[in-house]
């Protein structure tokens, strides 16, 4: 383990492109963190291989082997805590977490969601934005509270919805932005610039009245 780097555990369920963005930012010297472990609830998640390639412990805890959400989350929490992270990063972790798990990591649990929250909580956000005829869509980084996709928002990136967009094309445009704003938000936390107290967040000591808009 690297001395003095800010310890992080990343939870994934799938491709892990946001994990990769953090690995790459860290390798470029732009993200002063140590990813101590990556844990997936899906043993076949391609993101586990991304972690292994970067020399990061890659662990699968298959939620299907557990009889309840509570027992899975308890096992997950025990594994996460073995690595003593100061921040737990949800990067495409597609499980609803129990209130006990969320409470255990109050202000130490962060998520990226592919919509301009509070719009489109839950799934299929890209198709929903297209179906609604929205002119713009985007992605949000937020601290996690017990309200699904409802915690205080740190930063959002906006992208246009183009007339010929498919959900896949729109997702790609959104993910390109995710790979910029998620490492940035984690960096602010690692540097102690971004802090959270309950539903209140501050950047450089100033309370955020509204989410930061990336790129403007």
Active site residues: 113
Q: How far is the CB of 32 from ligand GAR (least distance, A)?
A: 21
Q: How far apart are CA 127 and CA 133, in angstroms?
A: 10
Residue nearest to ligand GAR (CB): 92
Q: How far apart are CA 113 and CA 174, in angstroms?
A: 10
Q: By C-beta, is 84 or 148 nearer to ligand GAR? A: 148
> Does the footprint of ligand GAR cover residue 175 (CB under 6 A)?
yes
Among 7, 114, 151, 183, which residue interacts with ligand GAR (rule: CB under 6 A)? 114
Among 50, 63, 113, 137, which residue interacts with ligand GAR (rule: CB under 6 A)? 113
> Does the footprint of ligand GAR cover residue 38 (CB under 6 A)?
no
> Does the footprint of ligand GAR cover residue 47 (CB under 6 A)?
yes
Element of type H or E holding 37:
strand 33-40
- Provide the b/e sequence for 56-77 (b: ≥16 CB within 10 Å): bebbebebeebeeeeebbbebb
> Does the footprint of ligand GAR cover residue 34 (CB under 6 A)?
no
Query: Which of these ranges, 7-15, 31-39, 101-109, 200-208, lies near ligand GAR under the rule CB under 6 A?
Result: 7-15
Tokens linked to 181: 């704003």
Q: How far apart are CA 128 and CA 194, in angstroms?
A: 31
Positive or negative, the CA dihedral 101, 213, 132, 114 is: negative
Among 6, 8, 9, 16, which residue interacts with ligand GAR (rule: CB under 6 A)? 16
**For residues 6 and 190, is the Cβ–Cβ distance under 8 A?**
yes
* Residues binding ligand GAR (CB under 6 A): 12, 14-18, 47, 91-92, 112-114, 139, 175, 178
């Amino acid at each position: 383990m690297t001395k003095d780097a800010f310890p992080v555990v990343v939870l994934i369920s799938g491709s892990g492109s946001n994990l990769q963005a953090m690995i790459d930012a860290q390798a470029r010297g732009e993200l002063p963190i140590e990813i101590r472990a990556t844990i997936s609830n899906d043993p076949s998640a391609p993101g586990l291989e991304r972690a292994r390639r970067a020399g990061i412990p890659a662990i699968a805890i298959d939620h299907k082997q557990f009889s309840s959400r509570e027992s899975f989350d308890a096992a997950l929490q025990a594994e996460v805590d073995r690595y003593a992270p100061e921040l737990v990063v949800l990067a495409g972790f597609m499980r609803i977490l129990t209130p006990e798990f969320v409470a255990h990591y109050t202000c130490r649990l962060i998520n990226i969601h592919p919509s301009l929250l509070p719009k489109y909580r839950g799934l299929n956000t890209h198709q929903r934005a297209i179906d609604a005829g929205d002119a713009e869509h985007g992605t949000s980084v937020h601290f996690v509270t017990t309200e699904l996709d409802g915690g205080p928002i740190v930063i959002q990136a906006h992208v246009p919805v183009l007339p010929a967009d498919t959900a896949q094309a729109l997702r790609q445009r959104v993910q390109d932005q995710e790979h910029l704003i998620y490492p940035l938000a984690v960096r602010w936390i690692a540097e102690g610039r971004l802090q959270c107290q309950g539903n209140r967040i501050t950047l450089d000591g100033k309370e955020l009245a509204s989410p930061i808009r990336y790129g403007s």
